[in-house]
Chains A and B, each alone.
Chain A
Amino acid sequence: MHNHTTAHPALAHHFDSLDQQQEAASLGMWVFLLTEILFFGGLFLVYTIYRGWYPQAFASASHHLDIPLGTINTAVLIGSSLTMAMAVHAAQLNSRKGIMVFIVLTMVLGTVFLGIKGLEYSHKFHEHLIPGLHFEYAAEPQFVRHAQIFFSLYFVMTGLHAAHMIVGMGLMTWMLIWTARGVIGNGYYSPVEIVGLYWHFVDIVWIFLFPLLYLIGRHA
């Protein structure tokens, strides 16, 4: 408010300036992402310990995952990070149209990722690779128990990742509405920026999930 005859409509009264407010919003998002590292970190630790105990069963079970589909999905998600970065870029230049176009593109790519993931889940269901009573591992029966640990981790980690993507796409829908209504724009874009931070974090989780789940012991 200082030195401004009229305050920006998005400026909350407890901040001196829009810059300060955006800085606080970014910091808040980064702190939230730290709690997400705690969240996913525990799962990565469990993965590390079980893979340490049962390396051959993990390599064997990993061979049942589809590398081409996993690779396509990695490319799709990295592409969606690029379009998200471009949405923030458009927001920085106050281009409402740019924000809308790139957020919609990001959501399309996110939907493609989830579609492919759903296809993979469906294959695993038909191959009886869902841990539980109907799990079948006839080709290498010595791994039947430990392979279920791998698939439990596969479904929990990729499922939690997919849930984060669904949340992210919900947030993007919200951003589209706010941009259309004119809440975002005119120098105020921190909601788009912090949704971007979240989306890139989800991308990073997948960057680790892909090699750890899909690419173990392939040469063997």
Chain B
Amino acid sequence: MHKDTDMAGHAASSTHHVVPLKIYYAIFAILMTLTGITVAVAYVDLGPLNSVVALVIACVKALLVVLFFMHLKYSTRLIKLTAIAGLYWMIILLALTLSDYLTRGWGTFGQQVLVK
């Protein structure tokens, strides 16, 4: 596999982990399965849980892409911290805005998303 690792063997160096192709195929299969599940679940009436299930599946898919396809699982702590900062900012954006909208219009904003 590493027959061409000249120039001080960079291809196999510790900072650039070579992920086995088997893992990529497995992640791809899981992502496709989750896509199938999310479409199938959309046709089942779960009440308020429909949106929750769709978002949980999307988050799991995104996590798999970030960890394996984007190599975050094998990246340095600095890059992990950078990625987490992005997620954390997104949580601040949504949580603070929704805490305003949901409490300002008790019983009007967002209620029918849960009923529908």
Contacts and interface: CB of A to CB of B under 8 A. Distances in A.
Interface in A19-44: 19, 22-23, 26-27, 30-31, 33-34, 37-38, 41-42, 44
B39 A215 contact: yes
Interface stretch (A76-84, A109-117, A141-149, A167-175): A76-84
A56 interface: yes
Given A93-B1, A187-B8, A220 B45 contact: yes
Contact of B11 (A74, A92, A219): A92
B10 A187 contact: yes
Interface residues of A, number: 62
A216 B38 CA distance: 11
B18 A186 contact: no
Given A19-B13, A53-B109, A86 B24 contact: yes
A207 B27 CA distance: 14
Contacts of B42: 67, 211, 215, 218-219
A211 B10 contact: no
A37 B55 CA distance: 17
Contacts of A19: 10, 13, 15-16
A158 interface: no
B: contact size bracket: 35 or more
Contacts of B28: 78-79, 81-82
Contacts of A79: 28
B10 A215 contact: no
Nearest to A8: B7
A48 B98 CA distance: 9
Interface of B: 1-2, 4-11, 13, 15-16, 18-19, 21, 24-25, 27-28, 31-32, 35, 38-39, 42-46, 50-51, 54-55, 57-58, 61-62, 65-66, 68-70, 75-76, 78-79, 82-83, 85-86, 89-90, 93-94, 97-98, 101-102, 109-110, 112-113, 116
